[in-house]
Amino acid sequence: MEKKAVTLQDFLNKVEESKVKKVRITQIEVVDFGLMEFVRPREGVLLDYLNEVVKAIDKTTEKTYEEEKKDDLEILETEDNSKKDINLKTEKSNEKIDMKLLVKASGKLVYSSCPLMRAKEVREQFKGIEPYDIPIELLGINKVMDLAQKLSDIFDGIKTQKTVNEAVKN
């Protein structure tokens, strides 16, 4: 069976269908504030958030290697039937979480998504701090990080990152 080439109209229909499927506006219950409205940020803002989270997250790496043994506890036969003393060693290393980077990325996503926090009147009340720090000042660190994760999930942040990664691979 021969495949039919996509026409311009087919393509435009798919583009419109894709746009309609995306969540544009959501409401989330924010403790001490109530139900707040959040607007889908630009894709670049979502990607920046995901990129910063990846940079900030704790990573544990494990490395296994062979080391010659000094005692006769373990003697293995090699492919040529000669005997070799080896010892398998495993080393684990942990990288720490960069909380400042994680909180900053979360604050930026929340601020970019919340029209109320971007309102001129709110910005005037917080003249002494950076705009992206307003959510942190209002909600606290933990609530901002939780809210940013919810927003990323609602607005398909993980899906966006996977799509970009696939495009880069190809």
Q: Are 61 and 92 spatial neighbours (Cβ–Cβ below 8 Å)? A: yes
What are the sequence ranges of the domains in the chain?
A: 28-58+97-170, 59-95
Q: Are 126 and 92 spatial neighbours (Cβ–Cβ below 8 Å)? A: no
**DSSP per-residue string spanning 64-92:** EEEE--SSSS-EEE-TTS-EEE-EEEEEE
Which residue in this structure is represented by tokens 């990607």?
47
pLDDT digits (tens, 9 = 90+) for 3-15: 888 899 988 888 8
> Does the pTM of the predicted model rise above 0.85?
no
Q: Is the pLDDT of residue 66 over 60?
A: yes
Amino acid at 155: F
Q: At what angle do helices 157-169 and 43-56 cross, to 10 degrees?
A: 90
Q: Are 57 and 32 spatial neighbours (Cβ–Cβ below 8 Å)? A: no
Question: What pLDDT score does 55 carry?
Answer: 86
Q: Which one has a higher pLDDT value, 166 or 14?
A: 14
Give strand ranges (E) for the chain. 25-30, 34-39, 59-67, 75-77, 83-85, 87-95
Q: Are 87 and 69 spatial neighbours (Cβ–Cβ below 8 Å)? A: yes
Q: Are 111 and 132 spatial neighbours (Cβ–Cβ below 8 Å)? A: yes
Q: Which one has a higher pLDDT value, 48 or 1?
A: 48
CATH topology of domain 28-58+97-170: rbstp2171 (3.30.2220)
Average pLDDT over residues 8-31: 86
pLDDT digits (tens, 9 = 90+) for 73-105: 455 555 555 555 566 777 776 667 888 999 999
* Least confident residue range of 15-24, 105-114, 136-145: 15-24
- For the beta carbon of residue 87, count every other beta carbon within 10 angstroms: 13
Average pLDDT over residues 144-167: 77
Average pLDDT over residues 57-83: 60
Long-range contacts of 29-32 (CB under 8 A, 24+ apart): 30/139, 30/143, 30/147, 31/143, 32/139
Question: What pLDDT score does 59 carry?
Answer: 66
